[in-house]
Amino acid sequence: MYKKSKLKNGLRIILAPMKSTKTVTVLVMVGTGSKNENEKNRGISHFLEHMFFKGTKKRPTTLDITKELDKVGGVYNAFTGKECTGFWTKTDKKHSSIALDIILDMLLNSKFSEEEIKRERGTILEELNMYLDNPIMHISDLFENLLYKDQPLGYDELGDKKTIASVKRKDFIDYYKKHYTNNNIIIAIAGSFSEKKIKNNIKRYFDKPKNNSVKKQNKTCDKQNNPKLFIKYKKTDQTHLCLGTRGYNTDHKDKYVLSILNIILGGNMSSRLFTSVRERNGLAYYIHTSTVDYKDVGYFVAQSGVNNKKCLDAIKIILDEFKKVKEEKISAEEIKRAKDYLKGRTNIALESSDAVASFVANQEMDTGKILTPQEKFAKIDIVTADDLQRVARDIFVDNKLNLALIGPFKDKKKFEKVLKF
């Protein structure tokens, strides 16, 4: 499915040829994100991501970059996470050389001009305001803030208004030199392309030696002794909540067990929470669960938007469903449905070149090991009812429970009373 190699300078290249597609995706991932930040430069990873689109020596302006991709119908974007930053393009296979040239030109030759930094502050502040005004987006940030508090993993990727307004060009240059090093970069190419041509083009860009030191990411304290609650008062038409527990890191032996439990509880429209909260009780339009795993910690969470007056009812139902999987073994039929759903969704996604690029690059970034879909499915297939109950009993306990709310509430006591198993 893929070919992985490493240049002498430490750069990792993953090539994933796909005969059945007419597209090619170029994905560059860098092992740095908000987890690498501190109190003084919060948000710099995301701000820097924006600056890569602001001009290079070869393409001096944003328009010079974007029109070159637009004229070939390319799709492109970038993202900043807690532990990595990524840049990608997806084009017709005829334009793979253009896509690669633009992405690597941005990565290696961006100017980070003072003028563009000043201009982009306003854009990022408006992006931050958009998230703050959107409870569906903002509630997950508040949940991570609750879990990890003042640690870098608890920082919002966008930063805060103070640091966005004060970061200087020197800060960008220093951060770039420290973290955008060859052995902290992965280039993944998926789709239809000439392997020899792509690899030679990459080598041409990285022919010069470069600092190869990698700054280690901050370790996260994951201790908790009692249930935690955070309420952000806001006059809203519905309450948005995240209710969850501490889970497992990306390399944990029970990661796949939790992924099955996630599907059963809230991973699709036939899941237990969707059925109980929405279909049977009409308390929400949306409700779902998800697992998030970082290199050293992780969590499991249910998210929903519910009727303000029936918020407590929804919380109780969610906790009841969590409690049931602790006390009652899940049937073989339900487990099989969840496994088949996971495998089916994976196969559907991997028909797309951008999903394949992400599939291999994320695994390499997280663990340095890339499993094929079949190898992942084998780990899913061996999950048993006993495994699911054991994991449920491990994570669904009072001292791992956390609730974040956005809604018209000021009284914490009524929520604290129900926040227990």
Q: Give the active site residues.
A: 49
Return the H-helix or E-strand segment holding 91.
strand 85-92
Q: Render 25-37 in DSSP notation, one character per residue.
A: EEEEEES-SGGG-
Q: How do beta strands 238-246 and 401-407 pair?
A: antiparallel
Sole residue written with tokens 């597609």: 21
User: Helix 332-349 crosses helix 255-266 at what angle (to 10 degrees)?
Assistant: 100
Residue 50's contacts (CB-CB under 8 Å, 6 or more residues apart) are 78, 120, 123, 124
Q: How far apart, in whole angstroms, are the C-alpha atoms of residue 342 and residue 393? A: 23
Q: How far is CA 202 from CA 177, 256, 420, in A?
A: 20, 35, 54
What backbone torsions phi and psi does residue 353 show, to the nearest 5 degrees?
-65, -35
How far is the C-alpha of 99 from the C-alpha of 71, rounded, in Å?
A: 12
